[in-house]
């Protein structure tokens, strides 16, 4: 219940902040928080490029972490496998919604207020729920990539789809291995 409340607050806060504190019209609020500036084809191609970039960087991060003896990333895989087997439909729905909320809050809102480094650091801290130092490091680096991509492309759709595809790919890898 606490998780669902926190996610609802993460989703609502940026919209209410822009509407109430900044006194923007709802049209401007949605344009600020959910920017999509390109054709659907370009958005999808951009999301695929981001997915590939995240995948490559993730492999590099895994190699570097293992060289330094940080191997607690298995905790993430164990938790994902347990959750996906117990409540597969809930797990998939939660992931689809959570990734959208993360992109709205951390990229479209917090990054614009605090910058790439701080928003990525906060993003990483919020991934500590797995109890893995490797996950925090990985989330920080991948958060930097997501933040840079959002700044470069100003598209919540590219970030959302690229992030979602990456998470799905990571879960499939954990389930296979």
How do the residues of the chain divide into helix, strand and coil, expressed in percent and rounded to 5? 85, 0, 15
pLDDT at 75: 66
Quick one: pLDDT at residue 80?
67
Q: How far apart are CA 171 and CA 165, in angstroms?
A: 10
Instruction: Kindly tell me the burial class for residue 23, based on how many C-beta atoms sit within 10 Å of its own C-beta (0-12, 13-18, 19 or more).
Output: exposed
Structural domain boundaries in the chain = 41-176
Place of tokens 């797995």: 130
Locus of tokens 């970039």 = 53
Query: Cα–Cα–Cα angle for 96, 102, 105, nearest 5°?
Result: 140
CA dist 63 and 57 (Å) reads: 10
pLDDT tens digit sequence for 11-57: 999 999 999 999 999 999 999 999 877 799 999 999 999 999 999 99
Which pLDDT score is estimated for 58? 93
Contact 71, 65 (CB under 8 A): yes
Q: Which residues contact 153 (CB under 8 A, 6 or more apart)?
A: 37, 38, 46, 159
Range with top average pLDDT, 16-25, 75-84, 124-133: 16-25
What are the structure tokens assigned to 38, written together?
């390109």
Q: Give the tens place of pLDDT for each residue, 136-170.
A: 999 999 999 999 999 999 999 999 999 999 998 98
Average pLDDT of the chain is: 89
């Amino acid at each position: 219940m606490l998780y669902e409340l926190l996610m609802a607050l993460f989703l609502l806060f940026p919209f209410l902040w822009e509407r109430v504190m900044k006194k923007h019209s709802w049209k401007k609020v949605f344009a600020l928080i959910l920017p999509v500036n390109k054709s659907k084809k370009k958005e999808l191609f951009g999301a695929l490029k981001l997915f590939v970039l995240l995948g490559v960087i993730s492999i590099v991060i895994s190699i570097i972490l293992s060289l330094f003896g940080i191997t607690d990333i298995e905790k993430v895989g164990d938790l994902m496998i347990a959750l996906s087997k117990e409540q597969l439909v809930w797990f998939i729905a939660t992931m689809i919604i959570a990734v959208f909320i993360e992109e709205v809050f951390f990229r479209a809102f917090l990054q614009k207020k605090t910058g790439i480094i701080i928003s990525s650091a906060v993003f990483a801290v919020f991934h500590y729920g797995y109890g893995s130092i490797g996950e925090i490091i990985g989330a920080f680096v991948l958060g930097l990539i997501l933040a840079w991509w959002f700044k470069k492309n100003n598209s919540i759709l590219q970030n959302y789809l690229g992030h979602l595809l990456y998470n799905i790919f990571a879960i499939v890898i954990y389930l296979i291995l």
